[in-house]
């Protein structure tokens, strides 16, 4: 869960800043954008992420209509990063709670420390210096992402402006070398990532809301696990 928390805080809210309309990108730049060629006539400038029956894009509020390329890339950057956080969060919440209860930092067989949404309270109480380390780690990862994807604040510059040569979400982290070299395979993989991430954002939000309402772990609320949590056993009381 602590890995999940780090990841969740690392990818804080981005984008949603207005910018001037950007025309088509040069061929030299397109070669670095994983085979994607911006097309203003297509939904979301032709970025992958749609599946049947929404091949033409799902946008009931019309937010993408007339949206500049630079802004669309910012939105996709935010969506991809939040999708990754949500997938880790949804999985992490289930792993650290009953009945699995795998805790990287706690001995779960000694006591049940309750819903995942309050585990950082336990970290703060047991090892407050860990939060300082957490802040440094978050800053380091975000600094690397900023250097790779965001424009330098010089000349004609807009807030959170992405580099022309930066493909949204491609932060260069691929230790297992899973990224396809073929553009079509890459687009298919990103579509899968986005679709799973969108579902995870809804799922994680639902689980967090449920735990805030009743203070119980997810499988306990579903009646699939015993409730061993004793609120008096943790430093932060509910």
**Binding site residues for chlorophyll b, as ranges?**
84
Q: How far is CA 142 from CA 12, 79, 89, 139, in A?
A: 9, 16, 18, 5
The whole-angstrom separation of Cα 134 and Cα 142 is 12
SS3 category, 185:
helix
β-pair partners for 162: 150
CB 79 within 8 A of CB 188: no
The whole-angstrom separation of Cα 97 and Cα 114 is 7
- Other Cβ atoms less than 10 A from the Cβ of 183: the count is 14
How many residues does this entry show for the chain?
238
Binding residues: 64, 79, 82, 84, 192-193, 196, 198, 210
SS3 category, 107:
coil
The position carrying tokens 């030299």 is: 28
The whole-angstrom separation of Cα 180 and Cα 188 is 10
Rounded to the nearest angstrom, the gap between the alpha carbon of residue 220 and the centroid of all alpha carbons in its chain is 26
Binding residues for chlorophyll a: 64, 79, 82, 192-193, 196, 198, 210
β-pair partners for 150: 162
């Amino acid at each position: 869960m602590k890995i999940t928390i780090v990841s969740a805080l690392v990818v804080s809210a981005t984008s949603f800043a207005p910018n001037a309309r950007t025309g088509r990108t040069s061929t030299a730049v397109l070669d670095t954008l994983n085979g994607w060629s911006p097309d203003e006539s297509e939904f979301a400038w032709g970025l992958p992420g749609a599946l049947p029956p929404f091949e033409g894009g799902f946008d009931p509020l019309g937010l993408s209509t007339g949206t500049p390329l630079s802004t669309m890339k910012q939105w996709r950057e935010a969506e991809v990063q939040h999708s990754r956080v949500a997938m880790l969060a949804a999985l992490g919440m289930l792993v650290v709670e009953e009945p699995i209860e795998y805790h990287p930092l706690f001995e779960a067989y000694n006591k049940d420390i309750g819903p995942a949404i309050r585990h950082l309270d336990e970290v703060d109480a047991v090892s407050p210096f860990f939060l300082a380390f957490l802040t440094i780690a978050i800053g380091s990862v975000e600094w690397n992402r900023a250097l790779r994807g965001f424009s330098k604040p010089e000349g004609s510059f807009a807030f959170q402006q992405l580099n022309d040569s930066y493909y949204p979400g491609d932060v260069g982290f691929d230790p297992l070398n899973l990224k396809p070299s073929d553009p079509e395979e890459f687009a298919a993989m990103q579509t899968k990532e986005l679709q799973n991430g969108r579902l995870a954002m809804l799922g994680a939000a639902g689980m967090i809301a449920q735990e805030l309402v009743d203070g119980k772990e997810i499988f306990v609320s579903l009646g699939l696990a015993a409730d061993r949590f004793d609120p008096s056993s943790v430093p932060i009381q509910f």
